[in-house]
A = this chain, B = another copy of it.
Amino acid sequence: MRDVAIIGVGTTHFGELWERSLRDLAAEAALKAIDDAGVDRIESIWAGCMTGGLFNGQEHIGALVADQIGCNPVPAARIESACASGGMALRAGWFEVASGASDIVMAMGVEKMNDVSGARATYALAAASDRDYEAFHGATFPGLYALIAVDHMHRFGTTREQLADVAVKNHNHGQHNEYAQFRMPITREQVISSTKVADPLNILDCSPITDGASAVILCPLDDAAKFTKNAPIKIAGIAACTDSLALHEREDLSEFRATAEAAQKAYDMAKCTHRDIDVAEVHDCFTIAEICVTEALGFFERGQGGPAASKGITSHGGKIPINTSGGLKSKGHPVGATGIAQMYALVNQLRGTMGKMQVPNAKRALAQNMGGTGASAVVTVLEKV
């Protein structure tokens, strides 16, 4: 197997982009990544998208992207693992380059979520849960994550304030991200007094409905200099795992096992531990998710994710800065694009081009992307070469 590097990244603005279509967004991100890499061709496309069908009446997303950027007959397929679709697309592209089958491969993600009503968006997103055993009975995603939050609060003493502090931190970070959906700082009091969605989660504990797309270009690490002037960023570790689709089948509601197991495999592949990670982007679809995930990744003991956020340990300038891009909470969460948007942020960190949110001398970065209530998880370790 060949080592694989990221040599180009591109993203659109994230937000309510009423004037843009699914294909427009996909093409913008894809062409920006190609331009950034400076390559004159790509050989294959893996496009992450959760539900073009329910949001846009459009499947066949791979062919759509290849067509829209004018690169037929290049092969293209869409990858879907709910909100982990982007991370899984990266993994598929990594296999293709690692195998030696192709040299220059695009992994991208796109979702256009705002063209349906709120009720329809809730229905669409519930397709990431277990339709038969959860959604059909009325469970929504905020409802499922509220169950996780209640479990964590009851067992570990996690507080309403600690949940809020995750959102406050990510908005503080995201105000510096020119592509973010919400660039305003918020306060703990605003989060706690915001509209209740599913107790204990308020609207400011939830990531938003977002339109957006992101893309990366992969090539063999050893050949990077042949294709680009950019410093390659090595994919040192990448692994995916699954857990039960429905929450009720788990032995432990707030332990994200797929994330923990994927992280261990990714650390092993990268020959490192969580202690060697300088900066991370994690899947904060809800504030409680970031707390549980930082524990599953090994950054903190069970129950210590909340206190860590409140103490600033996960803030820019803290011991392990989490979501310096603003995360899903502030940057936005176009579900199929999120795993690739994480790459956009981390490649910028490792290139030293993250602006005010730069982590000094960042050499090793981690991304964690998950689908549903953690039934799918992809963990990726990137290294500056």
Contact = CB atoms under 8 A, between A and B. Distances in A.
Contacts of A78: 79-81
A126 to B, nearest CB: 7
A98 interface: yes
In order of increasing CB-CB distance, the 7 nearest A-B pairs are: A99-B99, A75-B240, A73-B241, A53-B53, A59-B127, A63-B375, A60-B82
Given A80-B80, A375-B63, A57 B123 contact: yes
Copies in the complex: 2
Interface string A125-137: 0111111100100
A381 interface: no
27 contacts: A1-B99, A1-B100, A23-B132, A50-B59, A56-B131, A59-B80, A59-B128, A60-B371, A62-B88, A62-B376, A66-B242, A72-B242, A73-B241, A73-B242, A73-B261, A75-B239, A75-B241, A75-B262, A76-B242, A77-B79, A77-B81, A95-B95, A95-B96, A95-B101, A98-B101, A99-B99, A99-B100
Contact of A77 (B67, B72, B80): B80
Contacts of A243: 63, 67, 72-73
A92 interface: yes
Q: Determine which residue in A51, A64, A245, A257 has the highest number of CB atoms from chain B within 10 A of its CB, and name it.
A: A245
Q: Determine which residue in A76, A246, A249 has the highest number of CB atoms from chain B within 10 A of its CB, and name it.
A: A76
A193 to B, nearest CB: 34
Nearest to A375: B63
A259 B263 CA distance: 40
A234 interface: no
Contacts of A21: 132
Interface string A82-101: 10000010011001101111
Contacts of A98: 99-101
A66 B242 CA distance: 7
Given A100-B1, A101-B1, A101-B98, A81 B60 contact: yes
Contacts of A75: 91, 239-242, 262
A160 B96 CA distance: 44
A4 to B, nearest CB: 10
